Amino acid sequence: MSNQETLEKICSFYVSEWHMVTMLLPYINKQIENNVNVETILQQEIEKNVTELVSRLHTKNEEKIKAIYWKQRNLVNYKEIEKLLDKAMKNNNETIIIVNGTNEYIGAVNTNIENYMQKHIRKLAGKGKKVKVINCYEVMQFNYNINTILDMHDKVLNTSGEKEIEEMFAGYHRKETEAMENAN
């Protein structure tokens, strides 16, 4: 099993923290119903928004959603991310990690998650463990390099769930696909 089979990267775009929370909650609720572990690595706290929205929606998994750590975490250090993932992967076959912050923050967190997965690939793959990273980008901050962001991810998450990138962005071609087409 390769790193690609144990690690899936999904991107999501939002216009405000409320929009991000509104988009994430139905997806997270469904994942909790499927016994998927959900962790967060957030540069900005969104706990107040999550608590308020979940309370208004009267979601089936309200308490489990509120129990997720929605506060700010400054986990760009490899050792800290390794501890989080070791704990998360111990009792769960699948873990979702929601990442949000500046481009530098998201990049540093993803690099450390990828390094962790590479270091532990045999152990994780042998046990059927999988990690999904959902990188949440604020549209106004990242609009100028959206193709670069899309190229680094496998799928897109929006209010209707996980979607193929090409399904959401008509005319988009992954750089590696484009290079292969031009070579032929």
pLDDT, one tens digit per residue, over 64-87 is 999 999 999 877 789 999 999 999
- Smallest CA-to-CA distance from 17 within 48, 38, 40 is with 48
Q: From 90, 91, 89, select the one nearest 113 (Cα to Cα).
A: 89
The pLDDT of residue 180: 42
- List C-alpha distances in Å: 47 to 18, 131, 139, 147: 11, 23, 21, 30
- Read off the pLDDT of each residue in 17-45 and give the average, rounded to a whole number: 94
Count up the domains in the chain and report the number. Answer: 1
Amino acid identity of residue 113, one-letter, is I
What per-residue confidence (pLDDT) applies to 143? 64
pLDDT at 184: 46
Tell me how far apart the alpha carbons of residues 38 and 92 are, in angstroms, rounded to a whole number.
Answer: 10
C-alpha 183/C-alpha 126 separation (Å) is: 37
Q: What pLDDT, on the 0 to 100 scale, is given for residue 179?
A: 42
Give the H/E segment covering residue 114.
helix 103-119
- Both tokens of residue 56? 């208004």
Query: Which range of residues forms the domain containing residue 54?
Result: 3-183
The residue-averaged pLDDT of 101-127 equals 90
Q: What is the pLDDT of residue 176?
A: 56
Instruction: Band the pLDDT of 59: cuts 50, 70, 90.
Output: confident
Question: For position 110, which CATH number holds?
Answer: 3.40.50
Backbone torsions φ then ψ of 44, nearest 5 degrees: -120, 135
**Tokens of residue 134, six digits:** 């959902």
Q: Is 127 buried (19+), middle (13-18) or exposed (0-12) by CB count in 10 A?
A: exposed
Given a cut of 80, whether residue 159 has pLDDT beyond it is yes
Q: Above pLDDT 70, what percent of the chain?
A: 90
